[in-house]
Amino acid sequence: MAAWLAASPLVRDSGDHGLLLLLGLGGVLALCVGLAARWSAALAFGVGLLGAEQAVWLARGPDALDPWTPLYAGAFLLVAELAWWSLEQRVPAWAERGMALRRLVTVLFACTGGCVIAALVVIAAGLPIHGGFGLELAGVLAATAALAVVAAVARTHVR
């Protein structure tokens, strides 16, 4: 799946592939290293590099919105979920029947939901609303607020 994400911009891009190839290969390699060494930071770096490859392709590409973005969003989430699932501590535990299947269904459901969210974002971005400094400021504030909410909810409590 990660290889497909890495190869897709190369196939769709008609210009110089050097930077895209570097980012794509780097992302896949970082994912492989992270899985082999059970290193979470490498996984994040790998997904980040694949995202950067997408960003470079979008920056060099046409101004029109990419309609395949929701699919890529779901694929990114699926790669990340499966990667971190592989990284989880191996506990030689006897498991109830259907635990793995139930979890896989949850992951697929989350990825499908991710596709829907991404589609809504793309649709909203395509609305004929003219930008400006105010709207950009609102966007920065919204992004910061979103991260702040995440940080607040995720604060860990240590005994």
Partner 1 sequence: MTRAATPKLGAYAALAGAGLLAALILGRPELAALAAPFATLLVVGLSLAETPGLSGVLELDTDRQVQGESVELELELRSETPVARLELLLDLPEGLVAETPNPQLLRLHAGERRELQHVIRCERWGAHLVGELVLRAHDPLGLLIFEQTLDLRQPLKVYPRGETLQKLLRPLETQAFAGNQLPRTHGEGIEFADLRPFVPGDRVRRVNWRATARRGEPWVNETHPERNADVVIFLDTFAEARGRGESTLDHAVHAAATLAVHYMREKDRVGLVAFGGVLNWLTASSGIGQLYRVLDSLLDAEIFLSYAWKGVDLLPMRTLPPQSLVLALTPLLDERSVRALLDLRARGFDLAVIEISPVPFAPPGEQELDDLAHRLWLLRRDALRSRYLRLGVPVVEWREGEPLQAALEEVRTFRRHARVTRA
Q: Rule CB under 8 A: which residues touch partner 1?
A: 40-41, 43-44, 47-48, 51-52, 54-55, 58-59, 65-66, 69-70, 72-74, 76-77, 80, 84-85, 87-88, 91-96, 99, 102-103, 106, 110-111, 113-115, 117-119, 121-122, 124-125, 136, 139-140, 143, 146-147, 149-151, 153-154, 156-159
Question: Closer to partner 1 at the Cβ: 11 or 59?
Answer: 59
The candidate with the shortest Cα–Cα distance to 48, out of 35, 65, 29, 71, is 29
Question: Closer to partner 1 at the Cβ: 3 or 48?
Answer: 48
Closest CB 17 distance from partner 1, rounded Å: 19
Closest CB 11 distance from partner 1, rounded Å: 17
- Dihedral of alpha carbons 95, 100, 101, 103, sign: positive
Closest CB 76 distance from partner 1, rounded Å: 6
Buried b (16+ CB within 10 A) or exposed e, 31-55: beebbeeeeeebbbbbbebbebbbe
CA distances from 76 to 51, 63, 87, 93, 157 (A): 8, 22, 17, 30, 30
DSSP conformation class of 65 = P
Closest CB 84 distance from partner 1, rounded Å: 4
Closest CB 115 distance from partner 1, rounded Å: 8
CA distances from 6 to 10, 34, 40, 55, 139 (A): 8, 17, 20, 12, 29
